Amino acid sequence: KGLAESFGIMVNYNYLPRHIECNNEQYLHDGTIAVSEGVGAETMDEGTEWLRTCVGEKVKVVG
């Protein structure tokens, strides 16, 4: 269920100042998208996998 039956996904942005420059450079360089590990493990796994199916393998979990 969950994302498989959902029309979309809600995203909350929380910019971590110490990661902004590095994340931006990685995105501009090779399209890597950084996501926070600050959510529940089950939700993170499901959300990260969903994002990877949409944009490819260039999704990086950051702490």
Q: 59 - beta bridge partners?
A: 33
The answer, as to whether pTM is greater than 0.75, is: no
Highest-scoring range by mean pLDDT, 10-14, 18-22, 40-44, 56-60: 18-22
> Cα separation of 52 and 34, whole Å?
11
Which residues touch 21 (CB under 8 Å, ≥6 apart)? none
Closest CA to 44 of 20, 62, 29: 62
CB atoms within 10 A of CB 59: 19
Render pLDDT for 9-33 as a digit per residue (tens, 0 to 9). Answer: 677 777 889 889 998 998 899 888 8
> Cα separation of 8 and 1, whole Å?
13
